[in-house]
């Protein structure tokens, strides 16, 4: 596991060869690395990268969780979607809470952007890394998206 410092605290990045298999909040200080995922995360936090290209593999999870993670991966940079909208997209409009649980089990947060999933009406609810981290990630993306849109 490599550890990077970030504006949301240290992140542990687990890899298998060139493939990212985990991102972990609150990692203990450890080895810095030169893996492409480390460089991409650093560029993301610097506001330079809006689309990760590093290969990743979603390991584990139920069929439903994997479907949720697939929907999360489609959310564009700087945008948000509700838990209910994901549940509806998966064919079960009443499964918003189950979507929230699946988001909490996302093994590769930030790269697979579960922070972009919000409650009904845009309410800031739930995040495995804590609401403060979620808010910081959304604020970063909003600043970068506005700066790019307005030149």
The catalytic residue positions are: 114
* 3-state SS assignment for residue 100: helix
What span, in angstroms and rounded, lies between the C-alpha atoms of 132 and 136?
A: 6
Task: Name the phi and psi angles at 110, rounded to 5.
Answer: 75, -60
The secondary element (H helix, E strand) that includes residue 110 is none
- Among the listed residues 143, 110, 96, the one whose alpha carbon sits nearest the alpha carbon of residue 24: 110
Are 107 and 61 in contact, with CB atoms under 8 Å apart?
yes
102 vs 85: CA distance, rounded Å:
14
């Amino acid at each position: 596991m490599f550890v990077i410092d970030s504006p949301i605290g240290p992140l542990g990045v687990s890899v298998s060869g060139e493939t990212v298999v985990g991102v972990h909040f609150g990692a203990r200080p450890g080895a810095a690395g030169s893996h492409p995922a480390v460089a991409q995360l650093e560029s993301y936090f610097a506001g330079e990268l809006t689309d990760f290209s590093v290969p990743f593999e979603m390991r584990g999870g139920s069929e439903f969780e994997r479907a949720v993670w697939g929907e999360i991966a489609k959310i564009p940079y700087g945008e948000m979607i509700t838990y209910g909208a994901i549940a509806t997209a998966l064919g079960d409009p009443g499964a918003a809470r189950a979507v929230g649980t699946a988001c909490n089990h996302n093994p590769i947060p930030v790269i697979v952007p579960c922070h972009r999933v919000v409650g009904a009406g845009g309410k800031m609810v739930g995040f495995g890394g804590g609401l403060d981290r979620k808010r910081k990630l959304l604020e970063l993306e909003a600043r970068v998206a506005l700066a790019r849109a307005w030149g």
